[in-house]
Each structure stands twice: as C-alpha cells, then as structure tokens.
Amino acid sequence: MATRKLLEELSQVQLAIELIELGARLQVLESEVGLNRGRLVRLYKEVSGKSPPKGMLPFSTDWFMTWQPNIHASFFYTIYSRLREGQDLERMQAFIKAYRLYQEHMRLQDDEEVLALTRAWTLVRFFENGMFQLSKCNQCQLNFVNHAHTPDDDYVCGVCQPPSRAGKPLKKNRTKSVKQI
C-alpha cells in the first residue's frame, strides 16, 4: 500500500516537472497534478529557477479564431486527437507528446511557436467543454478549430483564404524602413 502511494506521488512529481519544463503556468499544474499548491510552487522554483508567473490564464475562445493562432491550434489539436485515438494514450500523456511534436515541427520549419503550452491546454479544455468543434475546409479538406455549433457547410480555412493583411508587415515597420532610406 505504501509503495503504491509513493509511486503515485512520484508519477505526479514527474508530470509536474514535464509540464514546468514545457512552460506550464501554476494554474495548469494545480488542475492537472495531484500535489498541493505549496509543493507545486517549490517544485516550480526548483525546476525553472524562478517563481511562477502571476496573472490569469487566457479564457476567451476568440484568440483561437484569429488567422495564425487558428492554424497552429488546428495543427496541435489534430496531433493531440490522433494520439488520443490512434495510440490510445491517456489525456495528459497525449497532451505532452502532442505539444512536444508541435514544438519539434516548429523548430524544424524554423517557425515561431504561436501556441504556448498554456494556450494549448486551454484549447483542449475548450474542446472538452463543448466550446469548439473541428470544421472541414471545403477546399483543402483539412480540419480546423471552429466555434461549436457553427454551420460549416461552406467553411473555408485561413490557409486557403487568408485575410488581406496576412503576412504583411505592420505599418510602423514600413515607415521605419522608409525613414532609413
């Protein structure tokens, strides 16, 4: 009995360390790890070398609907879903593995990680709470994050139909470069 309890505690500490190393906020740790807050704070300081950041977690679904975050969120959630279904992984195992695969892909593509771990965790929670659905693009046939219960018969994704300002520099950057000439 004592051995089982010790192994469970070790498993929870290991999960907390993995999440901290990936950039988890304290609120994520409190929700997902079965250790008390004081222990999580001490562990956070030990692993990261600093106190956990303060502040609220993102709570709006709107961030995920903007052009670039939607592409990254859709990519991450597709990986996560496939790991859950195809490899029959537990929720947090699949989440950590999916986030590491997302990070690896961004590094290999020399692209910026738009989706921080806390946002990725929030995304999964939004799906679990029925706030999001995957909608299939009529042009590329890929699935993208969309608000739940949104009619998607004529859905076109942000990759096939990017917004007019997608990928263009901000006006102040353009002005700065003109002044240098």
97 is in an annotated binding site: no
Q: Which residue has the tokens 């079965």?
A: 34
Report helix, strand or coil for 124.
helix
The helix (run of H) or strand (run of E) holding residue 107 is: helix 91-108
157 is in an annotated binding site: yes
160 is in an annotated binding site: yes
The helix (run of H) or strand (run of E) holding residue 145 is: strand 143-147
137 is in an annotated binding site: yes
User: Per residue in 46-84, is it b (16+ CB within 10 Å) or e — as a string?
Assistant: eeeeeebeeeeebeebeebbeeebbbbbbbbbbbbbebb
Q: Report the alpha-carbon distance of residue 177 to residue 71 in Å, rounded.
A: 29
Q: Report the alpha-carbon distance of residue 116 to residue 24 in Å, rounded.
A: 9
Pick out the residues of the known binding site for Zn(2+): 137, 140, 157, 160
Pick out the residues of the known binding site: 137, 140, 157, 160
